Structure 1
Amino acid sequence: MKCTKWAISAHFLFLLQVEAFNVAVIEELNRLIEPAVEAAGYEFIGLEYVAQGRHSVLRIFIDSEQGINVDDCATVSHQVSGVLDVEDPISGQYNLEVSSPGSDRPLFKLQHFEQFLGQEAKVRCMVPVDGRRNFRGVIVAVEGEDIILGVDEDKVTIPHGNIDKARLIPDYE
C-alpha cells in the first residue's frame, strides 16, 4: 500500500489533536483534584490518566510527612470521587486509584526534580531530544523550565513541557 504525503500528514495531525485533548483533560483533572487532595490534608504529587475505553484508569499520587497507608488512600478516594461525580470531567467509565508515590516515585513538577537533585531518574519525552525519547540519568540541575540530566558522559537538557513521564530509579543498595 502506498502512503501519500497527505495521509501521513493527516495521521500526524490526528495524533497532535489527540495529544492536545489529553493535555487539556490532564490540566482539568489537576485543577479539580489538587485542591480536593490538599483539603483532605495530603500533598498532591500528581496524576496519570490512561484512556482505554472501559478500562481507563485515573491514578492519583499522594503523600504526607507520616507516609501513606490504605486508610489515607480511601479518604482521598472518597473526597476526589465526590468532586469528579459533580464536575464529571471524564466521559465514560474509568477506575480511580489512589496511591503513595512509592520508591520509584513519579516526578511531575519542576519542584520534584529540584527535590531529588543527584538521584537517578528515567525520563520519557513526547518529542525526541538529540534523536532520543527515553533517557536514564542523574538529575544534575533544574534551570528555568529545563531539566538537566547526566546521561553517560554527557548532559542532556530536556524542557519540562516535553516530559511525558518521569520516575526516580530506586537505589536499593
Structure 2
Amino acid sequence: MSLQNDIESLVKSVGLELYDTSVVSEFGETIYRVAVISPEFEDDKRKGVTMDECVELTHLISPLLDVTPPVSGEYRLEVGSPGLERKLTTLDHFTKSVNENIAFTTMENEKIKAKLVNVDGSKLIFENEDGTTEIEFNDIRKAKTYFEWK
C-alpha cells in the first residue's frame, strides 16, 4: 500500500474524506499538509471539519509518517480543512465540489463563474445566469471554489 492509501484509510476511520495531500515550503519550513473534508451535508452545504477531528487525525497520522516519511529531511505535519475557497486541481476535487460555486479559466482564457451541478465522467456541468455549460475537465486551465457573501 502507498502512503496516500494508508493516510486515506486513517482519514476514513474517523468518518472523514481525504481531499488532498501536499508538500509546501513556507518561510523556509517544509510542511506536509493533509486536507480533509466531511462526507456529510447539512442544508445542501458540506459540514465543516472540527479542530478535535484534526487533532485526532494528527495523532493517528504522525506515527505512520515516523515509519514512512513523506519527504526527506525535517518537516511539519499540518492536518486541516482545505477551506471554503480552495484550488481544484483534480477531477476528484471537482466531484467533491458539486453544488458549490466555482471560478475557472478555460484553456482559451475565458473566465467563468458558475455553480457546479454535476460531474459526468470527465465532463463538468455548470449553471449560471447564462444557462448551462458543459466543459471537459482537460479544457480547464485553473479553478477554485469561491464563497459568495449574501
**In which range does the TM-score fall when normalised by the shorter chain?**
0.5 to 0.7
Fraction of identical pairs, as percent: 26
Structure with the greater alpha carbon radius of gyration: 1
The question of 1:56 aligning with 2:34 is answered: no
Note the alpha carbon deviations across 1:73-105, whole angstroms, 9 max, x for none: 111011111111112232223322111344336
In 1, Cα distance between the equivalents of 2:128 and 2:71?
38
In 2, Cα distance between the equivalents of 1:104 and 1:47?
14
The question of 1:111 aligning with 2:95 is answered: yes
Q: TM-score under structure 2 normalisation?
A: 0.66
Compared CA separation, residues 78 and 148, structure 1 to 2 (3 A):
same
Match of 1:158 in 2: 136
In 1, Cα distance between the equivalents of 2:75 and 2:111?
28
- State the one-letter code of the partner of 1:172: W
- SS of the aligned residue for 1:132 comes to coil
Query: For the aligned residues, what is the CA RMSD?
Result: 3.4
Match of 1:22 in 2: none
Q: Which runs of 5+ in 2 are unaligned?
A: 41-46
- SS of the aligned residue for 2:79 comes to strand
- Conserved? CA contact 2:117–2:127, under 8 Å: yes
Task: Indicate which of 15, 18, 31 corresponds to 1:42.
Answer: 15
In 1, Cα distance between the equivalents of 2:75 and 2:4?
16
Match of 1:31 in 2: 5
For 1:10-159, what aligned pairs fall within 5 Å after superposition? 28-39=2-13, 41-52=14-25, 54-64=28-38, 65=40, 67-104=48-85, 109=92, 110-113=94-97, 116-117=98-99, 119-123=100-104, 129-132=106-109, 135-150=112-127, 153=130, 155=133, 157-159=135-137
Compared CA separation, residues 76 and 159, structure 1 to 2 (3 A):
same
- State the one-letter code of the partner of 1:57: I
Q: Which runs of 5+ in 1 are unaligned?
A: 1-27
- State the one-letter code of the partner of 2:69: D
Give the paired residue count: 137
Q: CA deviation at 1:144?
A: 1.0
More strand by share: 2
